[in-house]
Amino acid sequence: MELQRIVDLLSPKVGDEWYNRLIESGVPKSELDEYIRKISRKVTRDEYMAVRTMYDQEHLYDLAVEMLGRGFAICGGIAVSMAFGGRSFIKDLDVFVKDEVTFFKEHLKYVGTNVDICLYENEPWEMFDLDICCVAIWDGRVEVTDQARKAYDSKVCHINIDKMRDADRTLKRCIKYNARYDVKFPVSELLILMSFALEDYPDNLIDNIGA
């Protein structure tokens, strides 16, 4: 799934083909128009986080069960934890759906919360930037891809630079998974990643998490 396609789906315009398709699918016009009005106003991340609804862990687990029952996939921290026995505490929920209209409807429902609705074309992990994250709970099972298993067993995890959207967030994930699963990352890939990062990180970061 191309990133630009997802951006386009999340940016309907009044009267365009996608807008009309959403209305025909049952999305209330008033809700859709209000969403468009809000996204037309640029807000900072701090402003966004200040009004974000944060579901607690119990609610997130209940939502995960509900989403799986509806045929969606769950990825992210909870899936990796179930695959490799890490910390079970979760702060957010990453839900993956395949249908575009369903994707937008769920996004509209949970936008501004710590439930992230994502779209995929073939497999839920197809756009993941770290190999160890290529795990999903779906179809009644926890599926661990070959690259995720190799990363966990060898303790060396590749960074998929071509799938990276935000260098700082990817780098923070590297630090998190190093602390949680003791995986390290190829120095050459870390150096490329850090060259894109905007935040300052410790000078010994390469020594700590580089392989």
Could you tell me if residue 150 is inside a domain?
no
Instruction: With beta carbons less than 8 A apart as the criterion, state whether 135 and 145 touch.
Output: yes
Q: Report pLDDT for 45.
A: 46
| Residue 182 falls inside a structural domain | yes
97 SS3 class:
strand
Q: What are the per-10-residue average pLDDT scores of the chain (211 residues)?
A: 80 91 94 84 53 82 93 93 77 94 94 92 94 94 95 97 92 93 96 89 90 89
Q: Can you read off the two tokens belonging to residue 165? A: 């959207």
Nearest to 60 by CA among 102, 96, 99, 89: 89
- Give the pLDDT confidence score for residue 115 in this predicted structure: 94
Give the phi and the psi of residue 87 in degrees, each rounded to 5: -60, 135
Could you say which of 141, 172, 197 is where a domain stops? 141
Q: Which of 163, 25, 11 is nearest to 99 (CA)?
A: 25
Report the distance separating Cα 121 and Cα 1, nearest Å.
5
Question: Chain centroid to CA 52: how far?
Answer: 16
Asked if the structure places residue 51 within a domain, the reply is: yes
User: Which secondary-structure segment (H or E) carries 195?
Assistant: helix 187-196
Q: Are residues 209 and 120 in the same domain?
A: no
Residues 183 and 99 in one domain: no
In terms of C-beta density within 10 A (0-12 exposed, 13-18 middle, 19 or more buried), how is residue 119 classed? buried
Residue with tokens 């999305």: 27
Range of the domain at 183: 155-211
What's the confidence (pLDDT) of residue 128? 95
pTM confidence score: 0.85
Q: DSSP E strands: which ranges in the chain?
A: 73-75, 93-97, 115-119, 135-138, 141-144
pLDDT at 159: 97
Residue 21 has which token pair? 């398709």
CA pair distance 29, 22, nearest whole angstrom: 9
Are residues 26 and 130 both part of a single domain?
Answer: yes
* β pairing state of 141-144 and 93-97: unpaired
Structural domain contains residue 100: yes
Q: First vs last Cα of the chain: how many Å apart? A: 30
In a domain, residue 54? The reply is yes
**CB-CB contact of 129 with 170 (8 Å):** yes
Are β-strands 141-144 and 135-138 bridged in parallel, bridged antiparallel, or unpaired? Answer: antiparallel
